[in-house]
């Protein structure tokens, strides 16, 4: 099988790769957002701890 | 052996449990996703009617199924939180909402990219498409409502009501292709069997399982942050090594 043909998807390449590309991008962005949220939560807690706000 | 399940319904113990469980869902999700894509693109044959465009199905169908199931699970957790006032169930409901919204978005996006070459239109106001769009708006409404109320307890109650009322939309999406004359086709896989090629079924099913595992991993990771945010003033959170670390 040749790769040019594979990526062309018989003329439907834009639709097929547009679907999978955006889906994978969405997953990647969500994983990054979840990681970022944890980092923010931990930073906030450490900051509270250092300034002696914790009970 | 008797397991005290209630122990794990407390944020204190669930935080650690969730953290240990995440890799067991995340890695299989990534591996199964690759296997599903491999089968979908290299094993499954070209479709006689739709040529290569049908391959969008392998992500479109699992994303659509997940968008509906996650809503029902989210509404279930919201209801539990409403009835039993358990803190963790409300947190789980809000941890699931963004993932459900993203699957609804993927379903609509891949549907538009499939509709254009097959129907000649990115979008039609048909019952299936419209009710799925309403599902996306319900997720967004849930997230916005929760973010707009400062007191988390009140936010949980208000958004739980929205989640419960909105859950009537899920059977409407599912049965829309039978109840109305829609441009969207009916289910190809029925309880009575299917005419689909075996490799197409394998690809779709593998990606479906991968999406389920992904959802669980992401929801567990997100609920851990929600626990940290909401329990910020408790002793156990401040005793966690990842919180204490910086001081010593």
Q: What is the pLDDT of residues B47-92, one digit of tens each?
A: 988 999 999 999 999 999 999 999 999 999 999 999 988 889 999 9
Q: CA dihedral in degrees (B208, A19, B132, B167; nearest 10)?
A: 40
Q: What are phi and psi of B164, to 5 degrees?
A: -70, -45
B245 by Cβ neighbours in 10 Å (0-12 / 13-18 / 19+) ranks as exposed
pLDDT computed for residue B246 by the predictor: 54
Spatial neighbors of B188 by CB under 8 A, at least 6 apart, are: B194, B195, B196
For A8, nearest residue in chain B (alpha carbons) = B52
pLDDT computed for residue B41 by the predictor: 95
Spatial neighbors of B14 by CB under 8 A, at least 6 apart, are: B8, B88, B223, B227
What are the start-end ranges of the H helices in chain B? 11-38, 57-84, 87-119, 127-148, 152-166, 169-179, 198-230, 235-239, 241-244
User: Do the Cβ atoms of A41 and B229 come within 8 Å?
Assistant: yes
Give the pLDDT band (50/70/90) at residue A55: very low
| Nearest-angstrom CA–CA distance, B139 and B173 | 15
Residues forming beta bridges with residue B47, ordered by sequence position: B51
Interface test with A, best of B225, B233, B242, B248 (most A CBs within 10 A): B225
| Residues of chain B found within 8 Å of residue A31, distances taken between Cβ atoms | 218
**Measuring CA to CA, how many Å separate B146 from each of B90, B93, B96?**
11, 11, 13
Of B5-9, B49-53, B94-98, where does mean pLDDT reach its minimum? B5-9
Q: What angle, 0 to 180 degrees and rounded to 10, lies between the N-to-C axes of helices B57-84 and B87-119? A: 160
Q: Is A11 on the interface with B (CB under 8 A)?
A: yes
Give the residue, B193 or A54, on which the prediction is more confident. B193
pLDDT computed for residue A54 by the predictor: 47
**B191: pLDDT strictly greater than 80:** no
Q: Is A32 on the interface with B (CB under 8 A)?
A: no
Distance of CA B233 to the CA centre of its chain: 30
- Which ipTM score applies to this complex? 0.90
**B172: pLDDT strictly greater than 90:** yes
Task: List the one residue out of B241, B219, B207 whose CA is nearest residue B22.
Answer: B219
Q: Is A24 on the interface with B (CB under 8 A)?
A: no
Report the residue from B59, B243, B247 with minimal CB separation from A23. Answer: B59
Q: Is A43 on the interface with B (CB under 8 A)?
A: no
Long-range contacts of B167-174 (CB under 8 A, 24+ apart): B167/B71, B167/B72, B167/B75, B169/B71, B169/B131, B169/B134, B169/B135, B169/B138, B170/B68, B170/B71, B170/B72, B170/B135, B172/B127, B172/B131, B173/B68, B173/B128, B173/B131, B173/B132, B173/B135, B174/B68
Q: Is B117 on the interface with A (CB under 8 A)?
A: yes
Give the residue, B245 or B170, on which the prediction is more confident. B170
For A40, nearest residue in chain B (alpha carbons) = B225
pLDDT computed for residue B182 by the predictor: 83
| Nearest-angstrom CA–CA distance, B5 and B20 | 17
Give the pLDDT band (50/70/90) at residue B14: very high
pLDDT computed for residue B168 by the predictor: 95
Of B13-22, B44-53, B122-131, B190-199, where does mean pLDDT reach its minimum? B190-199
**B195: pLDDT strictly greater than 70:** yes
For A54, nearest residue in chain B (alpha carbons) = B233
The secondary structure of residue B47, as a DSSP letter, is B
**A14: pLDDT strictly greater than 80:** yes
| Nearest-angstrom CA–CA distance, B112 and A22 | 12
Mean pLDDT, rounded, for A18-34:
97
| Nearest-angstrom CA–CA distance, A26 and A35 | 14
């Amino acid at each position: 099988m040749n790769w040019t043909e594979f990526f062309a998807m018989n003329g439907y390449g834009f639709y097929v790769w547009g679907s999978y590309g955006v889906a994978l991008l969405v997953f990647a962005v969500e994983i990054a957002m979840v990681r970022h949220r944890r980092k923010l939560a931990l930073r906030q807690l450490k900051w509270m701890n250092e300034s002696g706000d914790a009970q | 052996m008797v397991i005290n399940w209630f122990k794990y319904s407390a944020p204190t113990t669930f935080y650690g449990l969730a953290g240990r469980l995440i890799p067991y869902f995340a890695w299989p999700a990534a591996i199964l996703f690759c296997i599903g894509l491999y089968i979908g693109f290299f094993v499954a044959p070209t479709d006689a009617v739709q040529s290569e465009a049908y391959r969008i199905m392998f992500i479109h169908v699992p994303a659509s199924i997940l968008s509906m199931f996650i809503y029902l699970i989210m509404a279930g957790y919201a209801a539990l939180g409403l009835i039993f006032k358990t803190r963790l169930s409300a947190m789980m409901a809000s941890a699931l909402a963004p993932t459900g919204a993203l699957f609804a978005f993927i379903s609509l996006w891949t549907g538009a990219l499939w509709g254009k070459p097959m129907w000649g239109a990115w979008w039609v106001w048909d019952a299936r498409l419209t009710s799925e769009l309403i599902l996306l708006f319900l997720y967004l409404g849930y997230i916005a409502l929760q973010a707009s109320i400062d007191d988390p307890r009140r936010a949980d109650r208000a958004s739980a009501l929205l989640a419960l009322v909105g859950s009537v939309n899920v059977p409407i999406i599912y049965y829309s292709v039978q109840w109305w004359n829609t441009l969207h086709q009916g289910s190809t896989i029925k309880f009575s069997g299917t005419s689909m090629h075996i490799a197409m079924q394998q690809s779709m099913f593998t990606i479906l399982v991968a999406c389920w595992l992904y959802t669980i991993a992401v929801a567990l990771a997100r609920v851990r942050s929600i626990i940290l945010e909401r329990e910020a003033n408790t002793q156990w959170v401040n005793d966690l090594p990842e919180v204490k670390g910086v001081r010593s």
